[in-house]
Structure 1
Amino acid sequence: MGSLCGGDGSVRPEKWCAVTGARGFMARHLVAALLRSGEWLVRFTDLAPVVMLGPGDDEALLADALRDGRAVYASVDVRNLDQLIEAFEGVDVVFHTAAADHTKNNLQLHYEVNVEGTKNVVEACMTCKVKRLIHTSSTGVVFDGDHGLLDVNESLPYPEKFPDAYAQTKAEAEKLVMKANGINGLLTCCIRPGSIFGHGDMIMPFLDQCGKTHFILGDGKNFDDFVYVENVVHGHICADKTLSTMDGAKTSGGKAYFITNMEPMNMWDFLYMLHEELGYKRLFKIRIPLLVLKPICYLVEWSYKILQQYGVCQHQLLTPTKIKYITHNRTFNCNRAAKELGYTPIVTIKDGLKLAAKSYIRWKNNIEEKIMIVT
């Protein structure tokens, strides 16, 4: 691997990679891992005109990299092909993580960002002679919302219908990426992460708001495949390293891979454990049967649509569609990723829970200290 000398006399890599949607949850961890590896200069993109850094070790790492030129930020909308071409110039590999907000079930928005945006990413990669494209997909691309999934592998076809716009358009995007493999020298691979958790997710703030109350929806017997965020990052890097070899390119080019912690467990037990790691002991459990919950959710959804028209609320916490995700079995077999990508989780569920809770608590305390100083 070639290298360049930095202004401080240090040796730095000369290879560039790009990360789209880089200020998203998983992508922040991916950017940090790429910088820590010492193998890459990182061009990271997102919608904001300038990058705003928050507290945390990864943000400090990124700030240092921006100062010494190991990282460069570019404001890019994946719906704008020209912006993508400019961002990908001179790049060897693109990690495409940008996607529309999955909490907003807006088919037009999801199609523009997830499908048309991915089409632009593929075209920009080909225009700029990018060697490899690693696309962040979703396990949702094989879920129909009505039938549970237990230990399914990548041979499972796409369903005839999808539970929401996000899953539908992510499936379409995945098809585009896999079809592009081998065209104009571009090698592609899709990563389908399980339910991601870690610092920066949406799970911990919600559990924190619940306090000592632990809600269980449905019969409480469904299993899920959770995956610590650093394992998802590891899966992406494994995919890139695999495609960079001749044999790996033949084996994995144009394929999709499930990436989980390989520790499927009862969903509500997982949330209970995370709740306890946040410091809430002796939790009070409340079980809500689906027969009671579904009518309430339809009413809430109807009210939300009215309020949204007036700009009163931006996000809906629970919908009938979300209930389908959290009350069905959803577990996925990672044998193909292990065999072909060399993927094995680097952080266990137990350790991931401790790390996630510890990071969240530290972040929360930092925010509270800043508020106290301001007031």
Structure 2
Amino acid sequence: MDLVTGATGHIGNVLVRELIKRGHKVRALVMPSDDLASLNGLDVEIVYGDVRNINSIEKAFNGVYVVYHLAGIISIVKRSRLIYDVNVGGTKNVIEACTECRVKRLVYTSSIHAFIEPPKGMPIVETKALDPSKVIGEYAKSKAMATLEIFKAVEKGLDAVVVHPTGVIGPYEYKLSNIGQMILNFMNGKIHAYINGSYDFVDVRDVVDGIILACEKGRIGENYILSGENISVKKIFEILSNEFELNCPSIKIPIWVAKLMAPIFEFLHTTFKQTEQPTYTVYSIHTLLSNSLTTHEKASRELGYSPRSIETSLKDTARWIKRTCP
């Protein structure tokens, strides 16, 4: 039996699908308030629990061979307390449950943001020397802290391996991420300008493949970057414009203007409880301007990880969004 926490999320539901396809018995740990649309029709056992409460999740770990821990808050808008409670406290509880129930292996999905950003021109590579005080944003700090908890548990005897995806895109996204919302807005003709930034994006199907490969081949206590390809915002729009015969934004927003407006958009989003995330936030702008040069050489060499082209991923993402979103 395999257990997937955060099973209703983007990576989570695609992982559940792939494990079932490979003949695995899968148990999904979900919150009582979770929308189960992403798991509808799948042969999966649903168990309700909250990773913030150890007593509510212990039963889900009984009889489990492998735990894939993906439950977490992924936000580029500030929600400090919840981020730490779930991402750090929740991971501690998962570690405790794995230890008590003698789970054979824990695969933790961290983030590329857990790493300290190197100088421009130098790629981000795997290291265990993480420092939450030297990364930017609540999400990044929480993922660095949670990853360190995994490494501590390994030193105490837990069999665990860590993966670090970059920006995830692809089909089966039922709750749009910031990049997903941006693509939707573009497809609906709502974006007429862009900022001069770039990031490394990877297909969710390749991330899932990398997670399973890490489970099967990853060395105990090691961590692996699951990246795709670095691409500019402008190039994203150009690819989608050509594929779907849409007008490509030609106006470049000055960085100083974007930085000035981002806090206002965040304030409006929080104050009026808007469901649609702002296209650009303080953190997303920082991310697009940061050094996102990465390498998946270690994952390719040790695991056999091989991501598809960014063009294929973007087109598949847009088709999914076009089909499922208004």
CA, structure 1 residues 98+131, in 2 after alignment: closer, same or farther (shift >3 Å)? Answer: same
TM-score by length of 1: 0.77
CA, structure 1 residues 315+354, in 2 after alignment: closer, same or farther (shift >3 Å)? Answer: closer
Amino acid in the other structure paired with 1:228: D
1:276, distance to aligned residue in structure 2 (A): 4.4
What corresponds to 1:94 in structure 2?
Answer: 67
Q: Which deviates more, 173-182 or 264-273?
A: 264-273
CA, structure 1 residues 363+51, in 2 after alignment: closer, same or farther (shift >3 Å)? Answer: closer
CA, structure 1 residues 50+336, in 2 after alignment: closer, same or farther (shift >3 Å)? Answer: closer
Is the counterpart of residue 193 in structure 1 residue 159 in structure 2? no
1:149, distance to aligned residue in structure 2 (A): 6.3
Q: In 2, distance between residues paired with 1:266 and 1:101? A: 22
Is the counterpart of residue 171 in structure 1 residue 137 in structure 2? no
TM-score by length of 2: 0.88
CA, structure 1 residues 319+114, in 2 after alignment: closer, same or farther (shift >3 Å)? Answer: same
1:43, distance to aligned residue in structure 2 (A): 0.4
Q: In 2, distance between residues paired with 1:44 and 1:193? A: 21
What corresponds to 2:256 in structure 1?
Answer: 291
SS where residue 154 of structure 2 aligns? Answer: coil
1:194, distance to aligned residue in structure 2 (A): 1.0
Deviations 1:269-323 (A, max 9, x none): 134323544x242323221011222222233444555x25xxx436651322221
Amino acid in the other structure paired with 1:282: N
Q: In 2, distance between residues paired with 1:214 and 1:329? A: 26
Is the counterpart of residue 44 in structure 1 residue 28 in structure 2? yes
1:147, distance to aligned residue in structure 2 (A): 5.8
Structure 1: unaligned runs, 5 residues or longer: 1-15, 66-70, 244-251, 369-375
CA, structure 1 residues 170+315, in 2 after alignment: closer, same or farther (shift >3 Å)? Answer: farther
1:343, distance to aligned residue in structure 2 (A): 1.6
SS where residue 112 of structure 1 aligns? Answer: helix
SS where residue 145 of structure 2 aligns? Answer: helix
User: What pairs with 1:1-375 in structure 2 (closer than 5 Å)?
Assistant: 16-38=1-23, 40-48=24-32, 52-53=36-37, 59-60=40-41, 62=42, 65=43, 71-143=44-116, 148=120, 150-155=122-127, 157-158=129-130, 160-181=133-154, 183-184=156-157, 186-199=158-171, 200=173, 201-202=176-177, 203-210=179-186, 211-212=188-189, 213-217=191-195, 220=196, 222-243=197-218, 252-261=219-228, 263-277=229-243, 279-304=244-269, 307=271, 312-313=273-274, 316-317=277-278, 318-345=280-307, 347-364=308-325
CA, structure 1 residues 110+259, in 2 after alignment: closer, same or farther (shift >3 Å)? Answer: same
Deviations 1:22-55 (A, max 9, x none): 10111110000000011x100001113576335x
Q: % of aligned pairs identical?
A: 30
Q: Which deviates more, 165-174 or 281-290?
A: 281-290
Amino acid in the other structure paired with 1:358: R
Q: In 2, distance between residues paired with 1:285 and 1:205? A: 20
Cα pair 1:103 1:316 within 8 Å, conserved: no
Structure 2: unaligned runs, 5 residues or longer: none
Q: In 2, distance between residues paired with 1:215 and 1:253? A: 46
Aligned residues, how many? 318
Q: In 1, distance between residues paired with 2:183 and 2:123? A: 27
Q: In 1, distance between residues paired with 2:88 and 2:249? A: 43
Q: In 2, distance between residues paired with 1:351 and 1:50? A: 30
What is the CA RMSD across the aligned residues, in angstroms?
2.5
Cα pair 1:137 1:174 within 8 Å, conserved: yes
SS where residue 151 of structure 1 aligns? Answer: coil
